[in-house]
Every structure is written in C-alpha cells, then in structure tokens.
A and B are shown apart, each in its own frame.
Chain A
Amino acid sequence: MSPLLDYTSFCQIVEEQLEVTMQQPVTGGERLRDDLQLDSMRLLQLLVHLELEHGYVLVDEQLAQLPQMTVDQLLQSLAQKEVV
C-alpha cells in the first residue's frame, strides 16, 4: 500500500509545524530522532497536527516506537482516521 504522504509533503509539514529546516533530499531511511533531531515531544506534536489537519493517525501501540522510526516507517504506518 502506498503511503498517504510523499516525502515532499512530509518535509513541508515538518518544516512548517516544527519550525525546523529539513536536510534535502529526504530518502526515507532517516531516523526521526537520531538523524532528524526531532525529540519525542515534537514528534507527538507533529502527529497531533497530522491527525487534526490531515486526518492521518498512528495507532497507539506504535506511539512509543515513534522516535526510533525512520521517515519511511512513519509514512507507511500512518492510516486514514476513521470517521465515526
């Protein structure tokens, strides 16, 4: 299944929401914490933005793994939020 977000859109959202400059180009293998220097709180802020503004969610069971994820792993794990 193809991810909901491409690299360009992801980088744009990260830069806008977290006020950071991303190293370009992103290849997908970058680890969110160790390579992109995004701490756990900023990653959670990003997730909340993705949910509220774009309708993309990460299941609770994967939240704790978020800092260790790569960009690809995050993008592959994002799912469309179910509308009740």
Chain B
Amino acid sequence: MIKVHCLVSCVCEVIKRSDADHRPYYFGIWDADFALTSEFVLSHHAAHISHEAMLDWYRLLYGITVHSWYDPSRSKAANLTVLEQFMKTKRPEQSVIVMLDLARLPERENKFHHEVFPHYVMLEPTDDEDRWRMLDPDFRYEGEFDRTRILQAIDQPTVAGGFWFDGSQVKLPDTEAVSSYFMSGLKRHHPLTEAVEQVILHHAARPEKLPEALKQLPVIAIRKYAYEHAFAYFYERLGIDLVASDFDDWCDKIEQLVNQYTIIQHRAIKYSMTRDRADLQDIQQWLVAQTTLEDDIKRQLVDLFSRFQQKEGETDATRTLYDQLPASSTVIR
C-alpha cells in the first residue's frame, strides 16, 4: 500500500471495512490541489486549499456526509476545546479527523523529514482519558499518545482543520455517480508538471532557492499512484485479468512518472550548483517527457472509462479520444 493523500486515506478507512469499493474515490487525486506560493515554492498544503468538493463527492458516492468541526473563524484554543468535548461524547461509529503537525511527534515515522508536516489523522478515545489512539491510515500506523502531546501537535500555527462523520451506513456507489466523479476530476492538462515548470522558470536566473522551492515535490508526486487504483478498478469492472493483461505495464508507467519527478528534483539541485544552461535544458526535456507520459496514462484511462460506460449501459456515449476533452474536463458527453 502506497501513501497517496492523507485525508483521502482517512475517509476511505471506513469504506475499506464495508462492501463498497474505495478505489473510485481515488479518481482525480492524481491531480489533487497543492499550492504554489508567491515566492514560487511548491507546497502540498496551504490554508486556502478547500476539500469541500472532494468531500461532497464522498457523500455522493458513499452516502456519508463529512462535517467540519473545525471553525477557522474561531481561535485555535476554542477549536481544541470543541475537539476535547467531542472526543468525550463521540459514539463508536463516529470518526474524528484532525490536521496536526506530524513533525511535532518525532517518535512517529516522518518519511519526508520535513520540519513542518501538516497531516490528517484519525483519533479515538481510550479507557484512559489522558491517552488518545491515533489512526494514521496513510502511513498504516496506529498507536496511543498522551492527549496533551496530540493537542500540542494540533496547536501549531501551520495546521488548522478537522472533520467528523458517521460511517455506520456506507452506500455502494452507483455507476452514474462513479462516472460523474471520474469526469469531474479528469483534467486535460497536468497541473503538477506545469507548476514545476513555473518554479524552474521563476528561479532560473537565480537558482540558489530552487532546491528549497521543490523540496515538497515528492509528497505531491506520490499522489500519481492514485492512477493505479483507477486502472485496477476499471480493469476489474471490465473483466480484464490484472495478471494476464497489460495492467503491470501501466503500473510501471505510473511508477516511472513518479520517479521522473525525483530525476527533475535532482537536476534542479544540480542546476542550482552549476548554473549551467545545459542542466536547465536537461530539466526542460524531462518536463516534456513527464507531459508525454502522463498524456499516455490519461488517454488510456479515458479509453478504459469509455469501455466501462458502454459495458454498464450508460446512454451517453463518451468520447474516447483524449484530444477532444475540454480543458475544464467537466463534461465528456
């Protein structure tokens, strides 16, 4: 299991324990929102990033409404009080999600070794009111912490946010909802590669800050593994054998896409040291390669989606040619 997106992992945990298929929820996560600061620094998290649409689709697919218990208009202290009260009264079928700074819990594995690491986890009370259980589906971690230490990790200026939902009634997603969700999340362009290109161009003349500007690229790049869930879902729904088919070849391409971002990061660091235009050109060639590769992946996915719709008897035929997708990708009819 590969880490893809922490909030998605949290809300999918209850789906995985049900009869519903969690994989459609990963549609579009390959292009999930990230931030590019005014200094052209790439960031996997920013206060302005809204998860509203993502959680609306969760309701449409699985029938579960996700509520925000965190109120950004109130103080952090007030929100912590709300959380503590909720933890005392919550029912077992209710799930609590909170954003905390994982870097404040050094005993937790911090694979990216970032000094600040905003991250969504789930919390459960224990028999001891001073201890809370932390469930971190994204990193497949589960363990108990002193309540005060978790509260300290939440009480950081770099993090804010939290949700709750009742997962007792999970609806099986219907084909129409799955199709609509797929279409809503498919972008013709590739926002991450485009953003990396903007970062490179912005820092090209004075590249000393370029390595720091791309430091969080690996955290965002792994979202591309969401493509694997989509391929596996469509292949299975189409009755295609994953082992005997070209499924592994597409997984290899997805892994190549992720790994090539590491090559770009490496070249960017190299360019920041050499300032050699040949190294800059090398980066640009890799960016072109990324675009071509992701074009191939999206095109194949659209073809699979079209076959899926035909098999499911969808009356509205989809265009199978990726080139005909509108820029917004909101409608393929």
Contact = CB atoms under 8 A, between A and B. Distances in A.
B273 A39 contact: no
B322 to A, nearest CB: 27
Interface stretch (B17-25, B77-85, B148-156, B256-264): B256-264
A37 B113 contact: yes
A21 to B, nearest CB: 16
Interface in A20-41: 33-34, 37-41
A56 to B, nearest CB: 14
B269 A48 contact: yes
Interface string A33-74: 110011111001101110110000000110110110000000
Contacts of A38: 113
Interface residues of A, number: 20
B51 interface: no
B45 interface: no
Nearest to A47: B266
A13 to B, nearest CB: 15
Contacts of A39: 112-114
B273 A63 contact: no
A76 to B, nearest CB: 19
Contacts of B265: 40-41, 44
B110 to A, nearest CB: 9
Contacts of B211: 41, 44-45
B37 interface: no
A67 B258 CA distance: 14
Contact of B269 (A37, A44, A66, A67): A44
B169 interface: no
Interface of B: 109, 111-114, 211, 215, 218, 258-259, 262-263, 265-266, 269-270, 273-274
8 contacts: A40-B262, A44-B211, A44-B266, A60-B263, A60-B266, A61-B259, A64-B259, A66-B262
